[in-house]
């Protein structure tokens, strides 16, 4: 048809529907299918069939950074073939608009003058944008901008990824135009262009192009940043940087910040003010979150490069944020690195058998907890709590190997951190970095001497069971506003020593005990396979789980009440927290099967294991550890010997006062073995058989008084520091 009708102007667009839309509005158009395609063969045929009468090509690709780069390239290449080339780009405002979108807008106008006017206005604007893109020089581009809108005699613009300031001296223009007054012919128009070029002065403001993309805000802290794209002279698209309001308000601070990108600002405060005024007027706003993972407000899993909302996967757009309907949001957390494989191709599931061979029920239940952590926020919102996981036991029992592998399923090369080495502020920040992901606390309870027995207390984590606040800090404002970030993650305690404490903390924990395994050839091969597994082979597991969120939460809601009722039927279980925690684990074992196929024998073994763990946890909150029981057995024996009291220094009826060093000395004299004193100092604080009233109380000793009476010539101190218990 191009050949038959001798088309004089041919528009080249990306999509087929764009071409059809233009043709329905009287514009000859063809589709190149994509911006990356240069239709060289079709243009060669056109040149052969219409020599000397080639149509003008109007490159009308989508107005996107990559497409604009290809448009300039294709226009140059087509010009070298003998074609005259122009461009048309639809101005983009709030959202992406293509030619088909414009066609549909035009149809809303009634047929006639209104529709023609709107169509002409939009096409003129698109041609103007195209002319600006293909302008051969900075001065020519400045001229085009002035002639389009003569309301501004001074303005900033970019050309070749450099920023210029154009100024048109109207006084000189009037002198140069005296002989052109009233002229309307083409020659006079060309003369006027020449005059405008002469009165146009250019100043280089920056050796880069910068553009404000959007304003990102944090509602909870009342902070805002402006997100700019900065492209150097030799860059294609450049990189993105954040600027504070203060940095874009001061020319000197703007220059300092811009230098981070390797560019230099040469302009003045006047230039900056006018540029920022134009670029930030009507700028779109993007919400921000300062953590990685599930955002309850947006009901989506949000990471740096991907997000999952209602089971659908989203990739960050060219401006580094996500759009869910009318919501715009981005994640500011950069220090936590999670890289998941998005495609199922290459994903393996043979690791489950290796996990079972090495760790048995412990391996599958640890996997279950990691999996369940992806839904901790939703579960807490519905059922008020989510359990902690304790992985404790003998050294060299495989805890580290298991934890590192589970992190690989989540796209992370990581193990955990030691909270005992963190300041309060650092610990609060570390625990607020992620949501619906485990926080692994390593060897936090390893006190070895009296001086550091108070270095770490598990009781400070009690509120996190229900998702309490991490800490309270003031917000920079003239009001009394505070920022209280909630706990959004789950807690895994990985250490050699068993966690001991009050019932309040013990009842919140689901425990997996680890013993040194009996190594076989099969277990060694399985362990090697687990260690050598690459993240790329297994990290799609996390994507599968998050995309299955609706199904998983529906099944959990059905099964959790059922398992809770079954555990309540066991009369040995009396703690509601213990029952809730273990019922959740049972329900999550079933939910895990929606993501990975688990053999029935593993499922049955895990259920039995959880039921046993519930009974053991119930016993743990009502009885003392064996080390404490052994201690009191030795105490009862020593106090039953002739000459008692031998170790009870208390003069107060109903109280027991024991100095552990003296206790150990007397025990050795009577050939009694007791646990290590460091262990006892840690465990006796939470003794249940005899309530601990004080850990280091100076006590008047009945034993020292008796010794002083027997040795009146010696001066013996009458007081001694003791653990004081209720008898």
State pLDDT tens for residues 328-339.
Answer: 999 999 889 999
Residue 367 has pLDDT above 70, yes or no: yes
Beta strands at 655-658 and 692-700: parallel, antiparallel or unpaired: unpaired
- Per-residue pLDDT band for 452 (boundaries 50, 70, 90) equals very low
- Per-residue pLDDT band for 94 (boundaries 50, 70, 90) equals low
pLDDT for res 113: 80
Contact indicator for 361, 609 with CB cutoff of 8 Å: yes
Contact indicator for 394, 496 with CB cutoff of 8 Å: yes
pLDDT for res 285: 93
Of 139-143, 604-608, 711-715, the poorest mean pLDDT is in 711-715
Q: How far apart are CA 218 and CA 554, in angstroms?
A: 32
Structure tokens at 430: 């570390």
Q: What is the pTM of this model?
A: 0.81
pLDDT for res 595: 96
Structure tokens at 509: 């924990």
Instruction: Measure CA 158 to chain center.
Output: 34
12-42 per-position pLDDT tens digit: 999 999 999 999 999 999 999 999 999 999 9
Q: Greatest CA span in the chain, whole angstroms? A: 131
Q: How far apart are CA 197 and CA 248, in angstroms?
A: 31
Mean pLDDT of 541-561: 96
Highest mean pLDDT among 281-285, 291-295, 429-433: 291-295
- Per-residue pLDDT band for 5 (boundaries 50, 70, 90) equals low
Q: How far apart are CA 65 and CA 158, in angstroms?
A: 14
Residue 176 has pLDDT above 80, yes or no: no
Q: How far apart are CA 527 and CA 530, in angstroms?
A: 5
**How many C-alpha atoms does 508 have within 13 Å on its Cβ side?**
25
Residues facing residue 439 across a β-bridge: 491
Q: Give 319 or 13, the one with higher predicted confidence.
A: 13
Beta strands in 631-713 (DSSP E): 655-658, 692-700
pLDDT for res 454: 43
Contact indicator for 162, 186 with CB cutoff of 8 Å: no
Classify 111 as helix, strand or coil: coil
- Spell out a b/e string for 494-523, using b for 16 or more CB atoms within 10 Å of the CB, else e: bbeebbbbeeebbbbbbbbebeebeeeeeb
pLDDT for res 450: 42
Residues facing residue 216 across a β-bridge: 225, 286
Q: How far apart are CA 431 and CA 624, in angstroms?
A: 30
The CB density around residue 539, as the number of other CB atoms within 10 Å, is 21
Sheet strands side by side (includes 388-393): 438-442, 490-495, 388-393, 509-514
């Amino acid at each position: 048809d191009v050949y038959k009708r001798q088309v004089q102007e041919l528009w080249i667009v990306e999509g087929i529907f764009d071409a059809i839309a233009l043709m329905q509005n009287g514009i000859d158009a063809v589709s190149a299918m994509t911006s990356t395609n240069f239709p060289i063969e079709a243009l060669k045929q056109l040149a052969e069939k219409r020599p000397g009468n080639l149509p003008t090509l109007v490159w009308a690709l989508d107005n996107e950074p990559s497409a604009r780069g290809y448009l300039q390239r294709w226009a140059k290449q087509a010009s070298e073939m003998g074609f005259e080339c122009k461009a048309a780009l639809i101005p983009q405002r709030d959202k992406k608009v293509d030619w088909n979108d414009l066609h549909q807008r035009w149809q809303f106008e009634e047929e006639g003058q209104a529709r023609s006017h709107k169509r002409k206005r939009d096409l003129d604007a698109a041609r103007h944008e195209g002319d600006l893109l293909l302008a051969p020089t900075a001065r020519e581009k400045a001229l085009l901008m002035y002639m389009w809108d003569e309301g501004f005699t001074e303005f900033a613009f970019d050309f070749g990824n450099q920023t210029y300031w154009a100024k048109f001296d109207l006084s000189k223009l009037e002198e140069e135009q005296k002989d052109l007054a009233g002229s309307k012919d083409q020659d006079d128009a060309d003369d006027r262009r020449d005059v405008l070029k002469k009165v146009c002065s250019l100043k280089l403001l920056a050796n880069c192009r910068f553009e404000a993309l959007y304003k990102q805000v944090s509602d909870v802290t009342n902070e805002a940043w402006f997100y700019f794209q900065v492209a150097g002279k030799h860059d294609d698209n450049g990189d993105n940087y954040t600027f504070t309001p203060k940095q874009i308000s001061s020319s000197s601070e703007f220059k300092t910040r811009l230098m981070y990108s390797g560019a230099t600002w040469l302009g003045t405060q006047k230039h900056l003010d006018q540029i920022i005024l134009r670029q930030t007027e009507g700028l779109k706003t993007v919400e921000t979150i300062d953590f990685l993972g599930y955002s309850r407000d947006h009901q989506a899993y949000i990471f740096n490069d991907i997000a999952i909302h209602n089971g659908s996967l989203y990739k960050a757009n060219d401006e580094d944020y996500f759009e869910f309907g009318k919501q715009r949001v981005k994640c500011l957390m950069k220090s936590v690195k999670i890289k998941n494989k998005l495609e199922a191709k290459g994903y393996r599931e043979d690791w489950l058998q290796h996990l079972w061979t090495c760790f048995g029920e412990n391996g599958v239940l640890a996997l279950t907890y990691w999996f369940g952590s992806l839904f901790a926020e939703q579960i807490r919102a519905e059922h008020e709590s989510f359990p902690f996981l304790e992985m404790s036991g003998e050294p060299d029992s495989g805890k580290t190997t298991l934890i590192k592998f589970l992190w690989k399923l989540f796209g992370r090369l990581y193990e955990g951190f030691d909270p005992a080495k963190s300041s309060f502020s650092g610990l609060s920040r570390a625990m607020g970095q992620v949501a619906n992901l485990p926080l692994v606390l390593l060897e936090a309870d390893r006190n070895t001497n009296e001086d550091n027995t108070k270095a770490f207390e598990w009781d400070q984590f009690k509120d996190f069971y229900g998702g309490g606040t991490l800490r309270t800090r003031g917000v920079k404002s003239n009001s009394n506003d505070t920022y209280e970030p909630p706990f959004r993650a789950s807690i895994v305690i990985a250490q050699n020593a068993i966690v001991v404490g009050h019932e309040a903390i013990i009842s919140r924990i689901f425990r997996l005990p680890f013993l040194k395994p009996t190594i076989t050839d099969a277990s060694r091969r399985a362990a090697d396979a687990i260690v050598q597994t690459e993240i790329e082979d297994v990290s799609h597991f996390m994507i599968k789980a998050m995309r299955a969120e609706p199904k998983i939460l529906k099944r959990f809601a059905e099964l959790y009440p059922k398992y809770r009722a079954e555990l309540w039927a066991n009369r040995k279980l009396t703690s509601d927290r213990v029952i809730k925690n273990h019922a959740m684990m049972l329900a999550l074992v079933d939910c895990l099967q929606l993501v990975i196929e688990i053999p029935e024998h593993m499922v049955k073994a895990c259920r039995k294991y959880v039921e046993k763990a519930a009974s053991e946890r119930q016993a743990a909150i009502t009885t003392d550890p064996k080390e404490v029981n052994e201690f009191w057995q030795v105490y009862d024996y020593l106090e039953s010997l002739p000459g008692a009291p031998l170790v009870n220094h208390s003069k107060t009826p109903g109280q027991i006062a024991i100095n552990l060093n003296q206790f150990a000395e007397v025990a050795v004299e009577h050939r009694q073995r007791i646990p290590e004193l460091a262990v006892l100092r840690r465990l006796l604080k939470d003794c249940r058989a005899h309530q601990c009233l004080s850990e280091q109380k100076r006590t008047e000793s009945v034993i020292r008084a008796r010794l002083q009476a027997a040795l009146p010539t010696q001066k013996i101190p009458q007081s001694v520091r003791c653990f004081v218990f209720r008898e």
